[in-house]
Structure 1
């Protein structure tokens, strides 16, 4: 009988495999073309078994990382691993295969050693345009998936090492920024090739049987760790409802409801009472919902839990198809990641506060707060697409103030440097600052939001802005005050001195002329605990 790996061997295997995923992600960042990947790092990478079981991930975007295990497994099952040969590379962005949204293209490379499929390396990257009715492919007002861009089923981008040029031409014909998109896709392919080499080297060193056994035992190890972490939490149940204030098309209250039950080393999370899908692009796949659950479990129970297939084994997640948190064809989904995922996290935290109140922070800014500005660059005549999400105030927590102007929860990107924005796009950065005193007061103060103003310096452009918490600031806890609300404004220029300000809804679309600006202020985080009395 084969002896199981001892703790030292497990730790060595975990670090070796995680380092491969990290190297794949870093290679993608270093070789990509668009600022959204090379500067903002809106991408993620991981290793999987041949049937799609997650082995290891890089510490990138929590939403990507949580979605990819379900996505990869579903895609491999849909395509059939028996149809893969050495040198193949699959590509897909289909959200109805338990993906995220169309800009998140996933590139999947099978790894063969001595003609045996031993693993799969995959990465996901957010592309700055994949077609659709608006530059940036993030139209909040889309009412069906066909308006959001080109949807790619699992197909071979490379077949036995040969680039499928006709397929690539079809894809590039349907996007506005073909040069950036093509470059980013090739960077994804190249990054996976690096991961393929690293796994081959590891298998040559360890042998195939030891490699496969290490992958299986790492998942079992993560399961044991997760069960232990759950056992450390009090048993109990909690229910909570939070809401979006906008459905993407217009103002409408859409409620997310969750019931959480923790018993021993098991956790059940039920979203069945959540509202039906919204009219606009605020819906998200069930895989996104599961990703939020995985994130919150690590946040509450143990942040050091290994991120592999074992993490979710003790956890049951229930959703109702056709709802805001379980989109079905042809529900639009582009902003489900941006808005709804963050609200799912807030809802989960509200429920967990009833079970383990000393471990839960106040609500953070509640949105990834996206801005897309696109059109033809008056300087070159070519299409441009500026896409960026913005940080906000972090919710305060027991013993700690919230951080200012930071990406929280399901996002982990960087902000695009001002110099890069002004070099790449016909935009000028005006104000870029922390929104002082927007965090909720409390014994521990919520973090402040941020402000960014962008001016179109020439030509015309379409702007789509999406944020949240414009009707009510992020909630405080245990007597802490709510954070300040978010806002989006257009600033119209009339001559040298005159201007007019137009306040927008939480999600809006509009047009900018030369000299016009758009200003976003993200929400502050909620405070924690009753404010201390001022000293006399």
Structure 2
């Protein structure tokens, strides 16, 4: 393909991912998927190599890119097949993120796969919101090993009932799974139509060309990083089980043959749920280096060919089963990004921003009882780190997440909650030539008793500044003006008020 043809081809595949996302959003029942957009869609080649993705959630997409080859290679695929999985140690991230993978065939020839991953606020954990302060994987909900949910286009209704029966409101969960199936079916049809309109074999040639082009762009860009070794250590606040200040250490070695990212020196896997499988650590690495590439670089596997990742087995960033991982996907992935940026700031001081809020501020809540069952899950924005060219943004999701907030109107319509305050946390960004962005303040009042779980970070370790910039202010969790720890599960009564003040970003420059 010439340059124009390749550009059009890339745009058409990306448009397939975008349309899949639109179908999923508009078909889903739960606010977590419909309003917060906690989902991702992507296209893969026959070997499971990433070919295109929508601008959805980096931790979803990077982990799929890392693990898809093994997932699809273990199945004898046929037209109409669709696989379901959420097992973090077999290609998932954490249990609420459920992935559906559909094979794309054209006249018995495998063209590749489409996939979507969506976060379900209830996946069967005892704690409402399915994000407990857990110690084992089986405490976090229903584990779904790779299985065919559809065979030849026919739904395995028994398997679907078995999965949804573990949830408090099976009808809503089934509706969300149906939305995921529908999104994949649209993706299959669109790719079949695209390939049909091209000369025989041209579609697969285009996928190869995309990856080769991305690999060339990435290689040239990575060669701009001065050769050497750059190390940095950052810390997790705690694991929710009494173990504090857990180090994440990374050394980035840049040489002519590529870039090696080594996590030797990182803490051993923890009793709490801040562990993550290697696929999640890889997603954070892919994200950081993708940010260094030219904007026209295709979002495909070729972008990452020059990267090598080493992580000690049994560590916080490469945990062994049955370690709990609920917060590893959301919180530890954020800290891996911080550690990598800290290391790269020593190689590229005029390109790397200060630390952003470094947490997703996970809030899960709900109830079970005669009055009905409900589950709510949300992540909250905070301050973006100031950079060499501009100050950080305020009250936004940063780095490994790309979701929206839940609108107050939706919160108050569907749940026994009132939002009393939603504002920018003025002055929480670090000072500097380019200030860090401010966090936000969100206060919930409970209109009925509920169970609440908080999985948050940067409450004791502040988002650091760079080049003389000041650190951002750590976050604060409050219940009725009583200080709460970063990770906690508790019962609340009607009239109680929960307030989250999210961290500000670090400042850049003096």
2:190 maps to what in 1?
198
2:289 maps to what in 1?
297
Note closer, same or farther for the CA distance 1:304–1:294 as it changes in structure 2 (3 Å cut): farther
- Following the alignment from structure 1 to structure 2, what is the Cα–Cα distance between the partners of residues 464 and 43? 21
- Following the alignment from structure 1 to structure 2, what is the Cα–Cα distance between the partners of residues 54 and 376? 40
- Following the alignment from structure 2 to structure 1, what is the Cα–Cα distance between the partners of residues 292 and 299? 15
- Following the alignment from structure 1 to structure 2, what is the Cα–Cα distance between the partners of residues 28 and 355? 41
2:45 maps to what in 1?
49
- Following the alignment from structure 1 to structure 2, what is the Cα–Cα distance between the partners of residues 210 and 452? 52
- Following the alignment from structure 2 to structure 1, what is the Cα–Cα distance between the partners of residues 320 and 73? 19
Are residues 1:332 and 2:324 paired?
Answer: yes
Are residues 1:517 and 2:497 paired?
Answer: yes
Are residues 1:481 and 2:461 paired?
Answer: no
SS at match of 1:432: strand
Note closer, same or farther for the CA distance 1:301–1:87 as it changes in structure 2 (3 Å cut): closer
State the Cα distance separating 1:470 from its structure 2 match. 1.1
Are residues 1:389 and 2:379 paired?
Answer: yes
SS at match of 2:386: coil
* Contact kept? 1:469, 1:486, Cα under 8 Å: yes
Q: Deviations along 1:172-219, whole A, 9 cap, x unmatched?
A: 111123222111110000001101110111111014400011011111
TM-score, with length taken from structure 1: 0.93
- Following the alignment from structure 1 to structure 2, what is the Cα–Cα distance between the partners of residues 187 and 368? 25
TM-score, with length taken from structure 2: 0.98
- Following the alignment from structure 2 to structure 1, what is the Cα–Cα distance between the partners of residues 293 and 65? 21
Note closer, same or farther for the CA distance 1:303–1:363 as it changes in structure 2 (3 Å cut): farther
Q: Deviations along 1:104-137, whole A, 9 cap, x unmatched?
A: 1000111111122111111000011101231111
- Following the alignment from structure 1 to structure 2, what is the Cα–Cα distance between the partners of residues 185 and 429? 29
Q: More displaced, 503-512 or 83-92? A: 83-92
Q: More displaced, 231-240 or 192-201? A: 231-240
1:503 maps to what in 2?
483
Within the candidate set 164, 177, 180, 2:169 is matched to 177
SS at match of 2:499: strand
Instruction: Map residues 206-221 of structure 1 onto 2, 5 A cutoff.
Output: 206-221=198-213
- Following the alignment from structure 2 to structure 1, what is the Cα–Cα distance between the partners of residues 220 and 29? 43
- Following the alignment from structure 1 to structure 2, what is the Cα–Cα distance between the partners of residues 251 and 453? 28
State the Cα distance separating 1:7 from its structure 2 match. 1.2
- Following the alignment from structure 2 to structure 1, what is the Cα–Cα distance between the partners of residues 8 and 157? 41
* Contact kept? 2:217, 2:293, Cα under 8 Å: no
1:401 maps to what in 2?
391
1:467 maps to what in 2?
456
- Following the alignment from structure 1 to structure 2, what is the Cα–Cα distance between the partners of residues 136 and 250? 23
1:498 maps to what in 2?
none
SS at match of 1:342: helix
State the Cα distance separating 1:251 from its structure 2 match. 4.5
State the Cα distance separating 1:444 from its structure 2 match. 0.9
2:29 maps to what in 1?
33
SS at match of 1:124: strand
- Following the alignment from structure 2 to structure 1, what is the Cα–Cα distance between the partners of residues 470 and 328? 27
SS at match of 1:484: coil
1:152 maps to what in 2?
144
* Contact kept? 2:90, 2:146, Cα under 8 Å: no
* Contact kept? 1:28, 1:191, Cα under 8 Å: yes
2:245 maps to what in 1?
253
Are residues 1:448 and 2:428 paired?
Answer: no
* Contact kept? 1:246, 1:253, Cα under 8 Å: yes
Are residues 1:110 and 2:110 paired?
Answer: no
- Following the alignment from structure 2 to structure 1, what is the Cα–Cα distance between the partners of residues 405 and 289? 27
- Following the alignment from structure 2 to structure 1, what is the Cα–Cα distance between the partners of residues 457 and 295? 27
1:533 maps to what in 2?
none
Are residues 1:274 and 2:266 paired?
Answer: yes
Q: Deviations along 1:19-68, whole A, 9 cap, x unmatched?
A: 11111111111111111111100100011112211111111001111111
* Contact kept? 1:227, 1:265, Cα under 8 Å: no
For the aligned residues, what is the CA RMSD? 1.3
SS at match of 2:197: helix
Instruction: Map residues 112-151 of structure 1 onto 2, 5 A cutoff.
Output: 112-139=105-132, 141-151=133-143
Are residues 1:263 and 2:255 paired?
Answer: yes
- Following the alignment from structure 2 to structure 1, what is the Cα–Cα distance between the partners of residues 335 and 474? 15
- Following the alignment from structure 2 to structure 1, what is the Cα–Cα distance between the partners of residues 376 and 422? 16
2:414 maps to what in 1?
424
Instruction: Map residues 75-94 of structure 1 onto 2, 5 A cutoff.
Output: 75-78=71-74, 80=75, 83-94=76-87
Within the candidate set 404, 420, 423, 1:433 is matched to 423
- Following the alignment from structure 1 to structure 2, what is the Cα–Cα distance between the partners of residues 170 and 327? 28
Q: More displaced, 8-17 or 363-372? A: 8-17
SS at match of 1:475: coil
Structure 2 gaps, min length 5: none
* Contact kept? 1:231, 1:265, Cα under 8 Å: no
State the Cα distance separating 1:303 from its structure 2 match. 4.2
SS at match of 1:357: coil
- Following the alignment from structure 2 to structure 1, what is the Cα–Cα distance between the partners of residues 171 and 384? 36
Aligned length: 510
Are residues 1:374 and 2:366 paired?
Answer: yes
